[in-house]
Amino acid sequence: MEDVTLEWLDAHSHHHEDFAAADLVERLRAKGETVTVVIPARNEAETVGDVVSVLRRELVEDTPLVTELVVIDSDSTDATARVAADAGATVHRSVDIAPRLGSHPGKGEALWKSLFVTTGDHLVFVDADLTSWGPHFVTGLVGALTADPTTQLVKGWYDRVLDVDGQEPSTEGGRVTELVARPVLDLWWPQLAGVVQPLAGEWAVRRSLMESITVPTGYGVEIATLIDTHARHGLEAIAQVDLGARAHRHQKDHDLAVMAAELLAVVNARCHGTAGSIDVAAQELQQFTRDGGWRSRPVPLAQRPQAREQTGYPGGRR
């Protein structure tokens, strides 16, 4: 298995400097293909404007690599939608997209709903809370996705900068990645052990794949997409690209516990061949605290079916 992983790493690991935006524009134009950038956001008014404005200036106006720059606002209670629109994004409220299908809170829901309001052949997802990043994130992801026609999914790969008030910045970010995601992949899908950032919020996927898979509505979307792509198309359909370093707003450890619980439920379902549904006894994470009380928080376990099978979906496709 180690030889298989090393061989994959050699053939399917890229660096963002391998790709130039202008060259990618010509490559895509020759194929008649387009790129959509989707930014899921919930209460990210402080950072979403910078993310949108930089991408619009560099990759929409200066070099037209990106055809659609879309923010999916997931139940924000701050000025996220207004700030994103003022910066130049097309903004949709998740709850307003395909309302007949209902609405769930969560990142995966925003990504799934984006399929109904975008048209790009290639989808690039970028988090809204980035504080250290660059437009080369998108260029690298598009380049790696289109370098080989067999590639279906590309994960970003970077140093996760942990920047905590009162402490020196370090590259020890990505706590759920290192303590949950990578260990479970190594145990049950050892071929995926070479994927450095399985939970990367910056990733790219072909629309034809994204519209055909089951999508968890919460934070389980990234690991589910990785596992399901491997199951359907094999390791050769997956690639990763080195994007340098990335920093964003961090959650407290006890809040990350909800994310970890969801990941474990998503992984458990796929271990038992039930990717379409998650069957667990508890829908809430309950933790006993030192002061003698209980901390109870809901775990988002709903999953969305294949988007392309939904009534009215073709209206959202090119």
Q: Give the domain ranges of the chain.
A: 2-251+304-316
In the predicted structure, residue 26 carries a pLDDT above the cut 90: yes
Give phi and psi for 14, each to the nearest 5: -115, 175
In the predicted structure, residue 169 carries a pLDDT above the cut 50: no
Instruction: Give the pLDDT confidence score for residue 12 in this predicted structure.
Output: 94
In CATH, what is the architecture of 2-251+304-316? Answer: Alpha-Beta Complex (3.90)
Position 206, amino acid: R
Rounded Cα–Cα distance for residues 291 and 140 (Å): 48
**Closest Cα partner for 76 from 38, 43, 113?**
43
Please, which pLDDT band fits residue 171 given cuts at 50, 70 and 90? very low
Residue pair 246/133 in contact (Cβ under 8 Å)? The answer is yes
Instruction: Give the pLDDT confidence score for residue 253 in this predicted structure.
Output: 63
* Residue 86, both tokens: 């003022």
Per-residue pLDDT, averaged over 217-236, amounts to 96
Instruction: Give the pLDDT confidence score for residue 294 in this predicted structure.
Output: 84
In the predicted structure, residue 48 carries a pLDDT above the cut 60: yes
Position 210, amino acid: M
In the predicted structure, residue 220 carries a pLDDT above the cut 90: yes
Instruction: Give the pLDDT confidence score for residue 279 in this predicted structure.
Output: 65
CA angle 61, 62, 67 (to 5 degrees): 45
* Residue 225, both tokens: 């997409």
Residue pair 241/156 in contact (Cβ under 8 Å)? The answer is yes
In the predicted structure, residue 214 carries a pLDDT above the cut 90: yes
Please, which pLDDT band fits residue 167 given cuts at 50, 70 and 90? very low
**Closest Cα partner for 75 from 49, 107, 51, 52?**
107
Per-residue pLDDT, averaged over 227-248, amounts to 94
Instruction: Give the pLDDT confidence score for residue 22 in this predicted structure.
Output: 98
Q: Could you read off the pLDDT of 280-311 as tens digits, one per residue?
A: 656 888 877 778 788 888 888 899 999 999 98
In the predicted structure, residue 173 carries a pLDDT above the cut 60: no
Residue pair 219/200 in contact (Cβ under 8 Å)? The answer is no
Rounded Cα–Cα distance for residues 4 and 308 (Å): 33
Q: What number of other Cβ atoms are within 10 A of residue 149's Cβ?
A: 8
**Closest Cα partner for 60 from 133, 130, 139?**
139
**Closest Cα partner for 117 from 8, 39, 1, 232?**
39
Please, which pLDDT band fits residue 254 given cuts at 50, 70 and 90? low
Q: Which residue has the higher pLDDT, 165 or 251?
A: 251
**Closest Cα partner for 228 from 305, 128, 165?**
305
Please, which pLDDT band fits residue 29 given cuts at 50, 70 and 90? very high
Per-residue pLDDT, averaged over 233-252, amounts to 86
Rounded Cα–Cα distance for residues 176 and 219 (Å): 11
In the predicted structure, residue 318 carries a pLDDT above the cut 70: no
Which residue, chain included where needed, has tokens 């959650």?
Answer: 251
In the predicted structure, residue 248 carries a pLDDT above the cut 60: no
Instruction: Give the pLDDT confidence score for residue 47 in this predicted structure.
Output: 96
Rounded Cα–Cα distance for residues 133 and 131 (Å): 6
Residue pair 95/8 in contact (Cβ under 8 Å)? The answer is no
Estimate to the nearest angstrom the gap between the alpha carbon of 39 and the chain centroid. 9
**For the ranges 80-89, 111-120, 288-297, which has the lowest average pLDDT?**
288-297
* Residue 108, both tokens: 């995966």
**For the ranges 16-25, 74-83, 115-124, 300-309, which has the lowest average pLDDT?**
300-309
Instruction: Give the pLDDT confidence score for residue 316 in this predicted structure.
Output: 46
Mean pLDDT of the chain: 90
